[in-house]
Structure formats: structure tokens, C-alpha cells
Amino acid sequence: MSFLICALIGYALGCLPFAVIVSRVMGLQDPRQYGSGNPGATNVLRSGNKRAALFTLAGDALKGVTAVIVVRYFAGAIGLNAAEPDTGALLAGFAAFVGHVFPITLGFKGGKGVATAAGVLLSATPVVGLIVLSVWLGVAILTRYSSLAAICAALAAPIAGGWLLANVQAVALLATMSALLIWRHKDNIRRLLAGAESRIGQKKKT
């Protein structure tokens, strides 16, 4: 039951659609109606409004961070024993990622989860998170393809987790999250192979 509570907390936080919320508050077009149609920071950036993209990125990352912190802080109240807070926190973070990708608030059609996954990793497993973030930054700077950077970072996560973490359950959660993230980028993979993928900072076509 305690792990179910962790998952529910994470999923509820993950369902907050910051791309849509920020765009609406700032008077911008719904990000689902232009570019890739993805309600995430990279697509919001195609509106040309960098502040909106930054707010979206921060909000999506904080969903994962908050899920992890809340479960760790309230571990006793949730019913986790002394050996379970780390696993429960990562489970909550994973559920936040799932909530972002499949949010009930958007008819289960959400974003790709890159920022939320980054927030989860940096707060739940900081060393793994820093390695994965370094991979993302390196690929993004070299290629200016956000999608390629995300795919490479997703591949790095379970490898780094398997190397540094002794918790088999944690590594399994990382591997599942990475697999989902790569699956959500299937259309991007097709566009990358066809040479038609948009680069970071490229505005929507008018």
C-alpha cells in the first residue's frame, strides 16, 4: 500500500501540464497546435518565447523533483520502512514521469518527459543524474538536436545506474523510464533518419 501511495503522489504531480498552463498564462498559442504538437519545453521554444520555454522546463523538472522530495520527507507517514525511502522516492519520480507522458488532464496525450526525467534523476540519484545531464548537454551542443540528445541520455541512464547503484529495483525503474522515453521519441527518430528533424531554437513555420 505504501508503494501505491508513492505512485499516486508522483502521478498526480506529473499530470500538471506546465507547457499548456504557461502558454495560457502568457497569452501564447497552445503548444499542441504547432510544431511537433508536443506539450513540452522544446516545442514551446518554437513559439519564439524563450521565457515561456524556460518556465515550462522548470515546471516539468520540478514535478519530478517534488515527487521525490515529498516521498522522502513523508516516508514514515506513508508507511515506508527504513530500507524503503530511496526505492519509494524513485518510484514516485517514475510515476511523475508517467503522469507527464500519459496525463489524465490532457486525455493521456502528454509530453515526452525529458525534463521530468531529469528532475527525477538529479533528485533521486544525483550522480547518475549528472552523468545523464552531461550526455544530454554534450549531444545537444554538438548537434542542436534536442531529440537526439534525449535519446542518448536515455540510453546512458540505465547504464550509469547499473554501474553505480546496488538497488536492482532502482535500475529496473531507470531502464523502464528510459525505454518509455525512447519510445515517445519514435517519430523524432524517423525524422532524424530522414534529415527532417527540427533543431533547438528553430521557430514554428508560419
Render pLDDT for 135-171 as a digit per residue (tens, 0 to 9): 999 999 999 998 999 999 999 999 999 999 888 888 9
CA angle in degrees (0–180, nearest 5) for 124-127-132: 90
Q: Is residue 205 predicted with pLDDT exceeding 70?
A: no
Q: Would you say residue 202 lies in a domain? A: no
How many structural domains are present in the chain? 1
Q: Would you say residue 204 lies in a domain? A: no
Q: Cα–Cα distance between 201 and 15 in angstroms, integer?
A: 26
DSSP conformation class of 196? -
By three-state DSSP, how is residue 77 classified? helix
The residue type at 154: A
Which structural domain range is residue 186 located in?
Answer: 2-194
Q: Count of alpha carbons within 13 Å of 160, Cβ hemisphere only?
A: 21
Q: Would you say residue 18 lies in a domain? A: yes
Q: Would you say residue 164 lies in a domain? A: yes
Q: Would you say residue 21 lies in a domain? A: yes
The residue type at 5: I
- Contact between 36 and 145 under an 8 Å Cβ cutoff? The reply is no
Q: Cα–Cα distance between 140 and 98 in angstroms, integer?
A: 24
* pTM, full prediction: 0.90
pLDDT band at 206 (very low <50, low <70, confident <90, very high): very low
Burial class (CB in 10 A: 0-12, 13-18, 19+), 63: buried
Instruction: Report which of residues 8 and 79 the model is more confident about.
Output: 8
Residue 13 CB coordination number (10 Å): 23
| Grid cell in block for residue 80 | 515506508
Supply the pLDDT for residue 82.
Answer: 56
Q: Would you say residue 100 lies in a domain? A: yes
Q: Would you say residue 190 lies in a domain? A: yes
Q: Would you say residue 199 lies in a domain? A: no
